[in-house]
Amino acid sequence: MPGRPSPENKMRLLGIETSCDDTAAAVVVDGYTVESNVLASQDEFHRAYGGIVPEIASRQHAETINAVIELALRKARRGFDDLDGIAVTCGPGLPGSLVVGVAVAQAAALARDLPVFAVNHLHGHLFANYLENREQPNHPPPVTPFVCLVVSGGHTDLIAVESPSRHRVIGRTLDDAAGEAFDKVARILGLGFPGGPAIDQLARSGDPRAFDFPRGLIRNAGYDFSFSGLKTAVRYHVDAHPEDVERRCADLAASFQAAVVDALCEKTIRAAGDASVTTIALAGGVAANSSLRTELRRRAADAGIAVLVPPLAYCTDNAAMIAAAAFYRGEQGQVRPQDLRIDPNFAW
């Protein structure tokens, strides 16, 4: 077991996440029991700009990180003395954002003589599937091997997970990430930022078959994705029929969402079938999408494949998943506090 086991032989980690625009801290025991999970969203500061402004993100992290960590410890009824280590996101992400979490983790680890774990944010999304799920009490951790679809604002990756410490990237987007496509199309439709939840909501009252938008590389061999052609198709449609933004916005949102979900489901289920695995796990902010959750479950059930989906709060960025990743990857992520560095391009 990595780190320093606590008296009750449990591994209690403080997770810290500041890779993008959410300031988050959590206390998690054995990569499973979430004693607290605190998040300060910066949406209100970025909304006026229609996207994330890196300088604002960095400044907000610096202003709130200490309060967020204090609140996470208070909610967990723990102090630094109860911790067995600190897990912090080192990348990928915005340099000015990452540096805030890493500096605080480094200072706390040195001051309190605690082990520190450098966590890849994408591993965090994957290990969100290992956290407790109050919607399914006592669910066991996912049994390997399985295929994980990580769909976020910056990534759309298909991962073959062989064990908690071994995985391979088997597919990825060749251009825009799925979440990025949601955000860009939401902007085209005037739905504001962040776009994913807005499209998800509006699509419920729209017809997903109203417009036949392209499905990227859906017929190609291999498991790569492409979403920039889809985004451009929505833009061309809106340029040619500007009145549809007013009159048929829900249909446009639903048809766009259906195209994304179709491509994601098709490739993911095919990858799982080819690998002969019986479990698919979903992860990342776009895993919060209601249509993706329902449709993937429905189509996978037809193929005899089970689908694991983390609770909503663990799909979008959070710090509990960072603590879980550190627990499961153990010594693979442990570094000396003085060696802790950001890695904005940290690869899988």
**Which H or E run contains 173?**
none
Exactly one of 2, 171, 195, 310 binds ligand KG4 (CB under 6 A); that residue is 195
User: Is 317 among the residues that bind ligand KG4 (CB under 6 A)?
Assistant: yes
User: Is 262 among the residues that bind ligand KG4 (CB under 6 A)?
Assistant: no
Tell the burial category of 273 from Cβ atoms under 10 Å away from its Cβ (0-12, 13-18, 19+). Answer: middle
The site map against ligand KG4 for 284-303 (x = CB under 6 A) is: xxx-xx--------------
d(CA 222, CA 298): 22
Show Cβ contacts of residue 38 under 8 Å, excluding neighbours closer than 6 positions. 24, 25, 26, 68, 71, 72, 75, 319
Helices then strands (H, E): number in the chain? 12, 11
The site map against Zn ion for 120-159 (x = CB under 5 A) is: --------------------------------x-------
CB of 87 to Zn ion, least distance (A): 15
**Interacting positions 130-159 with ligand KG4 (CB under 6 A):** 152-154
CB of 264 to ligand KG4, least distance (A): 11
Q: Which does 195 bind (CB under 5 to 8 A by kind): Zn ion, ligand KG4, none?
A: ligand KG4
Query: Amino acid identity, residue 228?
Result: S
- The residue among 123 and 299 lying less far from Zn ion, judged by its C-beta, is 123
Exactly one of 15, 194, 310, 337 binds ligand KG4 (CB under 6 A); that residue is 194
The span of 37-45, 128-136, 230-238, 279-287 binding ligand KG4 (CB under 6 A) equals: 279-287
d(CA 223, CA 158): 7
Exactly one of 13, 14, 16, 20 binds ligand KG4 (CB under 6 A); that residue is 20
Across the beta sheet with 166-172, what order do the strands follow?
166-172, 156-163, 146-151, 279-283, 306-308
Beta carbons within 10 angstroms of residue 10's beta carbon:
13
The span of 35-43, 192-200, 221-229, 299-307 binding ligand KG4 (CB under 6 A) equals: 192-200
